[in-house]
Amino acid sequence: MLRRSPFLALLAVVSLTFGVLSQYDVFADEKKTEAKKDEPALGQDPHKLADGLSKLFDQLLAESKIKPSKLCDDDTFLRRAYLDLVGRPPLPREIDEFNPGSRKDAFGNKGDDKRPALIDRLLESPEHARHFADMWTVITIGRDADGNSKRFLRQYLETSFAQNKPWSEMVYDMVAVIGDTTEHPEVGYLMSFENKPQDMVGITSKVFLGKQIQCAECHDHPYEDFTQNDFRGMQAFFTHGRTGARGDGANRVWYTRGDKVVKDKHDALVHNVGKQWLYPQFIGRESYELTLGKTLRQSLAEWMTSPDNTYFREMGVNRYMAYFLGMGFVTPVDDFNSLNEPSFPKVLEIMGKDFAASGYDTRYLIRAIMNSDLYQREVDTNRTNRNDFKYYSRAYVRKLTPEQIHRSILHVVGIERLNQVEPIRDVPENQLTPEEKASKKILDGVNGWKGHIYNQMRIAYGAEPDMRELGDYDGTIVQALMLLNSHLLGPGWLTNSIDKICEEHANHNDRVRAIFMTVLGRRPTARDAAIMGGVMANWGGGNAVYEDLFVALMNTTEFATNH
């Protein structure tokens, strides 16, 4: 068991609270730590938090006699950042813009500024909003939720992430929403539960607070201090609200109904929760204080998203640590309990307070994690850290989520990107011009290919867990067969990335280089080039040999993982 000294526990608080260790006089006798004057406030500078994380864990590793892996090179960082932030590998143009291995990128950023600048660009891109909307739709309501629920919730999440809306506001909107989907697409979250308040409270508590109280629905929790009455107290907040629908076809609208604004203490009483009358009660047996002029769901959402709510702020930090680093301070990520305490509780506490102080700014939190050494380490291990699953001394090979693989296939093959057409009038086909008919044929071909890939993905990955898992890549036979047999390159009459590469590059080596950069998001190594030079001569001639290489690379472990 690796030990931690009181000095390092104190260091954790100091370095993380104020960002940089050099701002403090830390005395060797471990008895006195004085903060210098004018310490920066929490939630102001993600780069200082990143530095604090890096220096803190360097200290912990040194004490534990663990040598961390080196920081990764530019090629590795570039691919990792694109996969994590926008859900796909970078394209050749984007690789050249970042200019891996060189001091200056295409935007004038130099040296140590290149990586933070890339993170900022990707966070501000529409693709980041789309990717995180996909990710959070799966986390909150799952892949098998009703299509309308997913469509509306995803619309709300994408718009919110694009605006960098505070995470507290997003969660408040989803839990407390009153209205219909024409103005409030976040109704999609409540729609997904099909008016089952017991499911609403179980998922809401788990996803946003890290408390799995669903075990107490039918009986007292077997090992936690949650009783049936605790569950019913939380369930009471959702008892009044329902969702309904009106209209048909394109005019169909979903809405909330039955919400009661609390005007006195009798309005807050809820019946038929366990066939009894009771007042709502927050998790942890924190009493609900009568809040007049609000619905019960609004009162719950207000309590949940408060800067003072430890559950909410620490669950948010843990989720993002697990996503970007392969493991959080608590694993499983959404199961905080007395038998599953954080690996570094004080670090999680301070990061949670920092996240809340930032205004629950998810981009702030992401910048802090990705700019730290913890995120930027190599996967390669040494004899001291190969068994480390606690101190973030190395990066972990993580298999991509189905959403990342799906987005990667669409972008890498490039059929949608390379076959764009002008908008077509919404008129009967016999009224279209010849040019519009040609455009419609292309559009139908693109949509047909996208639908084919989507259906294959549902078959292959429908049973996958909601979030990526820590560990070696262990894809299934069905997933392997999907990539081998699903006509990845699409109809031959549509332009794909291979067509574009062969058109733009006449030289064999240039084509191989462009294929590696397109599929894997990195330049081929000298070893890659040597292997290709030896084996491709036996594959035949013409463009077919390059199609074979393209598809072969899409079937590698590297394509389906973050490394």
pLDDT digits (tens, 9 = 90+) for 154-189: 999 999 999 999 999 999 999 999 999 999 999 999
- Structure confidence at residue 223 as a pLDDT band (50, 70, 90): low
User: Distance between CA atoms of 237 and 254, rounded to whole angstroms?
Assistant: 21
For 345, counting Cβ atoms within 10 Å of its Cβ (0-12 exposed, 13-18 middle, 19+ buried), the class is: middle
DSSP, collapsed to helix, strand or coil, labels residue 245 as strand
> CB of 415 within 8 A of CB of 495?
yes
What is the residue type of 17?
Answer: T
According to the model, what pLDDT value does residue 11 have?
A: 47
Q: What is the pLDDT of residues 450-469, one digit of tens each?
A: 988 888 887 777 644 444 34
Q: Is the pTM of this model over 0.85?
A: yes
Where does 246-401 have alpha helices with state H? 265-268, 296-304, 310-325, 345-357, 362-370, 373-376
Where does 210-344 have alpha helices with state H? 228-235, 265-268, 296-304, 310-325
- Structure confidence at residue 219 as a pLDDT band (50, 70, 90): low
CA count, 13 A, side-chain hemisphere, 378: 14
User: Distance between CA atoms of 529 and 383, rounded to whole angstroms?
Assistant: 30
Q: Is the pLDDT of residue 337 over 90?
A: no
Return the percentage of the chain with pLDDT > 90, whole number: 60
According to the model, what pLDDT value does residue 486 have?
A: 66
Nearest one of 309, 262, 319, 313 to 284, comparing CA atoms = 309
Structural domain spans, the chain: 6-70+309-376, 74-124, 127-304, 402-554
Beta bridge partners of 246: 253
Nearest one of 183, 110, 189 to 149, comparing CA atoms = 189
